[in-house]
Amino acid sequence: MSSAPTTLPNNNAAATAGGATPSPTFSPLYQQIKALITRSLQSGEWRPGELIPSEVELANRFKVSQGTVRKAIDELSAENLVVRRQGKGTFVATHHEARAQFRFLRLKPDVGEPLYPDNTIIDAKRLRAPADIARQLDIKTGDSVVFLKRMQSFDNAPTILEELWLPGTIFKGLSVERVLQYKGPMYALLETEFGTQMIRAVENIKAVVADQVTADLLQLPLNTPLLSVTRVSFTYGDKPVEVRRSYYVTNNHHYRNDLN
């Protein structure tokens, strides 16, 4: 009573050039497709903001059904690597958008709508990575890093004071002058100038009190309580590409987090 198989047996081909050995670790087809699409995103075959090929087109290219491509893109969409728009297509995510502006910023005003920050660069230079920064950036102590110190104000109230470290090798052409003149969101700059996309980040939060220097810059009394937020941002392949140490003033703002 056996019926003729209408589907192919499970294999690991998926239209790759170099035939991969049939690994014992099983991986679903849609995961392989997802990896292939991710590689194209990473390589810049489709740039941020651009339209990627339609699902049918990708299905043809990879010799799989549309449903399999769909499931792959579903996950990429859930991870914010791409954005679906019904009737139009699927687009590569970009930090050059109003909505993306606040993607990683959890600090919200206690009352009213979020405002756009005014950025002021306090310091910008190249230096050798301290041990702790190097460890978090997965580089060697003493390697070149770009260092930035800046202030973000909302409605003319100094609210965020932060220091950023970026690996010098990745952002080789990032000049101090370029940073000083730039006013927009940092991740948009890194995206267009270096093709480095921030995909996800991890934040560690502690409570501290302001020392004299910090208090002066934030125009607060000494010992004012502040949120200390240390962020590590990652690009494709879970590669860390930014360490950011921020102080958040929470007198009129709060850090908001949704738990599911």
Q: Which residues bind DNA (CB under 7 A)?
A: 2-10, 26, 28-31, 52, 54-57, 64-68, 70-71, 84-90
Q: Can you state the angle between helices 66-78 and 55-62, rounded to 10 degrees?
A: 120
Question: Which 8-state DSSP code applies to residue 205?
Answer: E
Contact with a second copy (CB under 8 A) among 35, 176, 205, 215:
205
Q: Which is nearer to DNA, 60 or 252 (CB)?
A: 60
SS3 state of residue 132: helix
What is the nearest approach in angstroms of DNA to the Cβ of residue 89? 4
Phi and psi angles of residue 66, each rounded to the nearest 5 degrees, phi first: -60, -35
| Residues 173-192 within binding reach of a second copy (CB under 8 A) | none
Question: Which 8-state DSSP code applies to residue 139?
Answer: S
Encode burial over 160-171: b for 16+ CB neighbours within 10 A, e otherwise.
bbbbbbbbbebb
Stretch that binds a second copy, among 14-22, 28-36, 160-168, 220-228 (CB under 8 A): 220-228
* Rounded distance between C-alpha atoms, residue 174 and residue 177, angstroms: 8
Token pair of 93 as six digits: 């995510």
What is the nearest approach in angstroms of a second copy to the Cβ of residue 207? 4
What is the nearest approach in angstroms of a second copy to the Cβ of residue 79? 6
Q: Is 104 in the site for a second copy (CB under 8 A)?
A: yes
* Rounded distance between C-alpha atoms, residue 227 and residue 5, angstroms: 61
* Cβ–Cβ < 8 Å for 143, 128: yes
Contact with a second copy (CB under 8 A) among 96, 106, 128, 245:
106
Stretch that binds a second copy, among 129-137, 180-188, 196-204, 236-244 (CB under 8 A): 196-204
- Residues contacting residue 118 through CB under 8 Å, at least 6 positions apart: 152, 153, 154, 156
Torsion sign across C-alpha atoms 13, 79, 91, 235: negative
What is the nearest approach in angstroms of a second copy to the Cβ of residue 103? 8
Q: Is 259 in the site for a second copy (CB under 8 A)?
A: yes
The amino acid occupying position 84 is R
Contact with a second copy (CB under 8 A) among 45, 204, 211, 216:
204
Contact with a second copy (CB under 8 A) among 202, 216, 219, 222:
202
What is the nearest approach in angstroms of a second copy to the Cβ of residue 124? 24
Contact with a second copy (CB under 8 A) among 207, 212, 213, 221:
207
